[in-house]
Structure 1
Amino acid sequence: MRPRRLRAVTAPAAVSLAVSLSVAAAFPAAAAATPSAAWSGAEAQRAQLRQLARKLVAAGAPGVIVRVDDGRGRPVEIAEQAPWSRRDHLLRAGDEFRMGSNTKTMMATIVLQLVAEGRLALTDPVEKWLPGKVPGGKAITLRMLLNHTSGLFDYTEDAALRPSILGRDRRRWTSAKLLAVGAKHDPLFAPGTKWSYSNTNYAAIGAVLERVTGAGLDDLVRDRIARPLGLRHTYYATGPTWRGPHARGYEPDAAHMPPGVPAGFRHVAGTRRHGHVDVSGNDPGWGGAAGAVVSTARDWSRFHTALMSGRLLPAAQLAQMRTTVPVDPGRPDGPGSGLGIQTGTTPCGTFWGHDGGIPGYLSTNVTDRTGGRTATVLISTELWSEFGSDPKIAKAAAALQSAVICTMFGKPAAHAG
């Protein structure tokens, strides 16, 4: 981790291997889909995804959950895990999972709901709501926070966060405290002039939401998203406690950590298990509005469908969410960053979504433009993605993710063999 782990699915490859909450093998790098003799309908599809999930486990992932709904029938749901991890918990497709930076999509949705209600405007300067709390706050708008063009330094890059990220410091981080960590650093560039993924943007968004509504982020997620949609396993974590059956997340212990992981990140807190550390009891609160939501593959599919079909936002605000800026200035037609959501194009289709990474939990959730198709890949280990330190897992994850996105679009994926 360069502890940037609350990161974006459409980030360039160099950034992809560095994140938040993130996925080292991002979808934009997905292999071209080619017709395969093995492609013979839904069962062949399902068998191929299960084979690729098993290959990812064989490559070193303690567990993986896959869910794909192509909008044409019964969704594919797969849960595979390493034999040694079964002693701790039998992984199921409906298990709760720490979603990391996918949280940003929900936070942006709540902001846009308040915009529709006339309580906020995307053109509002941060200074209006958080006077004196953000450097250059008069020139930074809420839109810039939401699409990562503010220039604010990423608080997860500050050494003060490392003990919390590694589970060694259980202090409770508030939006204000996380914002203060990022705000004490010089801005990276003038507001609105470039794009740079920064979790500090969403710490600020969290503080604005709390100020405007007078409610906690946990209440806002519950009342504006989870309850209206019937998401029984989706909540903003206010501590390390889970509410339902959940996936166990693991990282290698110090002796088994890949050599590419720096010394400062090799000792993760948790219970030792078969050369790994069970990090399930660590507090994700340092992710705040940038990454503290817990959900399931099924719940997130329902959320994406409601969001992209217009159930959660009026048409004008949904259009604002989908208005993007280039992630890479050298590729103006490449991956784009919208408001709490990213988009990218693969040979099988153009997706919208986000990903997230927090120790023990790597998640990617994508959908099509209408919400009629959804897909999720959840991997129960994450540090390998931060430094690109495990080529075997990275290769297996890329193959699975390529197949998943093609399956979502109802197209044959490259041969799994």
Structure 2
Amino acid sequence: MSQRVLSVVASALVVGLAATLPAAAAPPYPSTEKRGAHLQRLARELVEAGAPGVIVRVDDGRGRPVEIAEQAAWTRRDHLLKAGDEFRVGSNTKAMTATLALQLVAEGKLALTDPVDKWLPGKVPNGRAITLRMLLNHTSGLFDYTQDAALRPSMLGKDRRRWTSDKLLAVGVKHPPLFAPGTKWSYSNTGYAAVGAILERVTGRSLADLIRDRIARPLGLKYTYYPADGTWRGSHARGYERDAAHMPPSVPAAFRDLAGPRRHGHVDVSGHDPGWGAAAGAVVSTTQDWARFHRALMSGKLLPAAQLAQMRTTVPVDPARPDGPGYGLGVQTGTTPCGTFWGHDGGMPGYLTTTLTDRTGGRTASVVIATEYWAEFEADPKIAKAARALQSAVTCTMFGKPQAS
């Protein structure tokens, strides 16, 4: 995921809600059936606006969650979309990577004040001044490796090489630092590649094993894993982008020619290897599994209180808006008229995902949109408008706040 995607989604949640909430006194809270019908209508409108598919799951903590799957008719020949399908979580992975790092902090094996050079000597410019905390909250100043042309073939599905955290880190640090460590905020997947390399160095185990043994298995997350390649383990949502002939003009030429089967003016990118996301974005999960992860994380099941408090210690994403969205250690937060959310979002070709929770983990929500370029390149205003409406309604529903229908 790029900084542009994070900005687009955060804006949809924080700004969009203010525009859609009714000004008058709130009506009675609707039943699960009515809430589901309202969200299903908005999901259908998003598909009608051009999204190939949408999965929604919302749990307001009061009873049965709302689960929705809507898809364009032309995608049904590939797969019948279900609410429980696996999907690529993209940068939501960062929440798991940060959790692993904080578990090791709690065990005394790492410290948030550790300089990068302690674990990766000579690998990172300014490595003696960049701390683990700076890597986790994007204040390291490291250039984002996803902006390097060397990654483009993998991102387009044309190069299936296995990227390791060390190799991705090497790509990022070829570029000059953006600023002195700790002085500004800039979203950097390179920082998380460094964290991934540190985790593997400290434990002597792969990131895939750490996620499985420290998070997925203890929580019973049967459909959550760090894939060895582009192979899916179970029923999964198909992700699509428009093919080169139908690509909106705002998409740069270098990103237009995606590999994959052609369908109805689109390319099926589901078979792409997400390995280039690594510790920053490679995980596969389901909306049900991710809700369970959020509940465990925010309730203190995965981290002691001290480390959970560190995770929630944020820096402003926009220095001009110190009270606006903030970023902690692998999680972002924002305050809307319906409540203050925690979570993350993630994007890679074919998948744009937003996962949210409240401070306790008792309320959770996920929106999975089976296409991503509309946000990455601001390529489709119709999809963006419909996505804002759905994401706003989902957030209010999670907080138990009615919205105008």
User: How far apart, CA to CA, are the structure 2 residues paired with 1:327 and 1:405?
Assistant: 20
Query: Are residues 1:408 and 2:398 paired?
Result: yes
Task: Determine if contact 1:79/1:91 at 8 Å carries over to the other structure.
Answer: yes
Partner of 2:170: 180
Partner of 1:338: 328
Matches within 5 A, 1:346-365: 346-365=336-355
CA contact (8 A) 1:149 1:196 kept: yes
* C-alpha contact 2:27 2:402 (8 A) present in aligned 1: no
Residue in structure 1 matching 2:268, options 255, 278, 281: 278
Distance 1:241 1:219 in 2: 17
In 1, the alpha carbon distance for the partners of 2:245 and 2:373 equals: 14
AA aligned opposite 1:286 = W
The whole-number CA distance in structure 1 between the counterparts of 2:27 and 2:33 is 13
For residues 19-58 of structure 1, the aligned pairs below 5 Å read 23=9, 26-32=12-18, 33-34=21-22, 40-58=30-48
Q: Give the whole-Å Cα distance in 1 for the aligned partners of 2:15 and 2:96.
A: 25
Note if contact 1:7-1:101 (Cα within 8 Å) is conserved in structure 2: no
SS in 2 for 1:236: coil
SS of structure 1 residue aligned to 2:310? helix
Q: Partners in 2 of 1:372 and 1:216 — Cα distance?
A: 31
5+ long unaligned stretches in structure 1: 18-22
How far 1:310 sits from its partner (Å)?
0.2
Contact 1:251/1:276 (<8 A) preserved: yes
TM-superposed deviation, 1:46 = 1.0
How many angstroms apart in 2 are the aligned matches of 1:155 and 1:84?
Answer: 35
8 Å CA contact 1:149, 1:194 repeated in 2: yes
Query: Partners of 2:395 and 2:363 in 1: how far apart?
Result: 10
**Residue identity in the other structure for 1:339:** L
2:128 is aligned with 1:138: yes
Structure 1 position 60 matched with structure 2 position 50: yes
Query: Do the aligned residues in 2 keep the contact of 1:270 with 1:278 (CA within 8 Å)?
Result: yes
The answer for the alignment partner of 2:315 in structure 1 is 325
Q: 1:218-237, aligned counterparts within 5 Å?
A: 218-237=208-227
The alpha-carbon deviation at position 42 of structure 1 amounts to: 2.2
Q: Return the letter of the residue paired with 1:118.
A: G
**In structure 2, the residue corresponding to 1:354 is in which secondary structure?**
strand
- The alignment-based identity, stated in percent, is 77
Asked if 1 retains the 8 angstrom alpha-carbon contact of 2:92 and 2:281, the reply is: yes
Number of aligned residue pairs: give it: 401
Q: CA offset at residue 36 of structure 1?
A: 7.0
Structure 2 unaligned regions, length at least 5: none
Output one character per residue of 1:266-286: Cα deviation in whole Å (capped at 9) or x when no partner. Answer: 111000111111111110000
Structure 2 partner of 1:20: none
- CA deviation vs aligned residue, 1:32-87 (integer Å, no higher than 9, x gap): 32267796332221111000000000000000000000000000000000011011
2:150 to 160, 164, 168: 160
Out of 111, 128, 148, the position equivalent to 2:118 is 128
The aligned amino acid for 2:321 is: R
Which amino acid in 1 is paired with 2:299?
S
What's the CA shift string for 1:333-387, capped at 9, x where partnerless? 1111100001000110000000000100110000000000000000000111111
Alpha-carbon distance in structure 2 between the residues aligned to 1:151 and 1:237: 29
Q: Distance in 2 between matches of 1:100 and 1:330?
A: 27
1:190 and 2:180 are equivalent in the alignment: yes
Per the TM alignment, residue 6 of structure 1 is displaced from its structure 2 partner at its CA by 4.6
Give distance in 2, aligned partners of 1:409 and 1:8: 26
Equivalent AA in structure 2 for residue 285 of structure 1: G
TM-score by length of 2: 0.97
Aligned-partner Cα distance in 2 for 1:357–1:237? 17
**What does 1:233-312 correspond to in 2, within 5 Å?**
233-312=223-302
Residues 6 and 287, structure 1, Cα contact 8 Å, conserved in 2? no
Name the CA distance, whole Å, in 1 between partners of 2:87 and 2:137: 25
1:105 to 95, 106, 115: 95
Partner amino acid for 1:322?
R
CA contact (8 A) 1:99 1:294 kept: yes
Contact 2:32 2:64 in 1 (8 A): no
Alpha carbons 2:300, 2:308 under 8 Å: kept? yes
